[in-house]
């Protein structure tokens, strides 16, 4: 099992809903469901790893308030070294809709002040050598994002393969944001984007062709994964071949963090030495279960013995 780490945004999510149609200004709407939980891309990934019985490290920061203390408690010893910023903890209020989609309202809070020094104060490069680090929340962690070049240098020096899932930019996929993402991808071994992000970044409508174009701008031997929701996922592997895996039909309860759960299961399987097709299948299975259960269920631990049987 190769070492795993996630670097990025951990915040508080308050989920309410479903809401339909959108309420008129000045009115009050009663909803059937609410959930206060750990959120953010890095937070969702780490929660999935915990549920799957995966050992990992997480680099994040929190605000100096009750929410910040609550987030640190959620991750126990893994959060002992998290820096505490003199700002309020970032809060996202998510409104779910009957079709499974959601709308978020997010405060800036502590996330923009997450820095490279914060990352290096938490993670041990020697301990993570030969492993994978997922970099997430790129458009929210302003201080760290400015130092991505140095972060990539650190990862390369310790033979840590970087997987990137930037998340959706607050101001959308402008040409400047697309250019920035392409630049970051040029230093990465893995891309984990959804279909809209992939086709937008590549400027191509076909997701497989878009994935190939993105891979062309990445490191030699890179892998590009495209998350396609109910259509499953595809990947362009190290040999340039296309792998497609469908998704099962499920009754969707809550899609929030689905892509992050997919990332967690995919990287866990990859770290255990499974084939790319098996990694996709595992990620789809875990994410499908997560979005169709309440309370959320990830299906139990992913055992490294499964990878040994697969190779045998």
Would residue 244 count as lying in a domain?
yes
CA distances for 257 relative to 143, 213, 240, angstroms = 24, 26, 29
Would residue 219 count as lying in a domain?
yes
pLDDT in tens, the chain (312 residues): 999 999 999 999 999 988 988 889 999 999 998 889 999 999 999 999 999 999 999 999 999 999 999 999 999 999 999 999 999 999 999 888 887 677 889 999 999 999 999 999 999 999 999 999 999 999 999 999 999 999 999 999 999 999 999 999 999 999 999 999 999 999 999 999 999 999 999 999 999 999 999 999 999 999 999 999 999 999 999 999 999 999 999 998 888 899 999 999 999 999 999 999 999 999 999 999 999 998 899 998 987 545 433 433
What's the structural domain count of the chain? 1
Would residue 265 count as lying in a domain?
yes
Q: What is the CATH number of the domain that holds 135?
A: 3.40.1190.20
Would residue 306 count as lying in a domain?
no
Would residue 208 count as lying in a domain?
yes
Would residue 311 count as lying in a domain?
no
Range of the domain at 149: 4-23+30-298
Extended beta strands in 126-275, E state: 132-136, 161-165, 190-194, 223-227, 233-236, 242-245
Would residue 142 count as lying in a domain?
yes
Whether the upstream peptide bond of residue 16 has omega within 30° of 0, thus cis, is no
What tokens appear for 25 in the block?
Answer: 């200004």
Would residue 312 count as lying in a domain?
no
């Amino acid at each position: 099992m190769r070492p795993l780490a996630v670097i990025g945004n951990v915040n508080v999510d308050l989920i309410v809903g479903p809401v339909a149609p959108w309420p008129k200004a000045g009115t009050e709407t009663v909803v059937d469901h609410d959930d206060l939980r750990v959120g953010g891309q890095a937070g969702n990934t780490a929660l999935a790893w915990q549920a799957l019985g995966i050992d990992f490290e997480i680099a994040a920061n929190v605000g100096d308030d009750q929410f910040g203390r609550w987030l640190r408690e959620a991750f126990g010893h893994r959060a002992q070294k998290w820096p505490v910023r003199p700002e309020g903890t970032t809060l996202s209020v998510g409104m779910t809709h009957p079709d499974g989609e959601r709308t978020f309202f997010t405060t800036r809070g502590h996330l923009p002040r997450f820095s490279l020094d914060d990352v290096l104060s938490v993670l041990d490069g020697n301990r993570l050598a030969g492993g994978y680090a997922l970099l997430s929340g790129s458009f929210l962690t302003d201080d760290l994002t400015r130092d991505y070049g140095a972060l990539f240098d650190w990862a390369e020096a310790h033979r840590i393969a970087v997987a990137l899932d930037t998340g959706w930019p607050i101001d959308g996929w402008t040409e400047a944001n697309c250019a920035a993402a392409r630049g970051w991808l040029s230093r990465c071994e893995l891309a984990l984007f959804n279909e809209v992000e992939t086709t937008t970044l590549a400027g191509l409508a076909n997701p497989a062709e878009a994935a190939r174009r993105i891979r062309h701008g990445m490191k030699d031997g890179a892998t590009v994964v495209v998350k396609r929701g109910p259509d499953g996922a595809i990947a362009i592997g190290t040999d340039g071949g296309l792998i497609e895996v469908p998704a099962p039909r499920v009754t969707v309860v809550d899609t929030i963090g689905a892509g992050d759960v997919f990332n967690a299961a995919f990287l866990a399987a990859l770290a255990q030495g499974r084939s790319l097709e098996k990694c996709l299948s595992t990620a789809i299975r875990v994410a499908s279960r997560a979005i169709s259960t309440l309370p959320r269920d990830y299906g139990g631990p992913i055992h490294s013995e499964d990878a040994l049987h697969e190779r045998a």
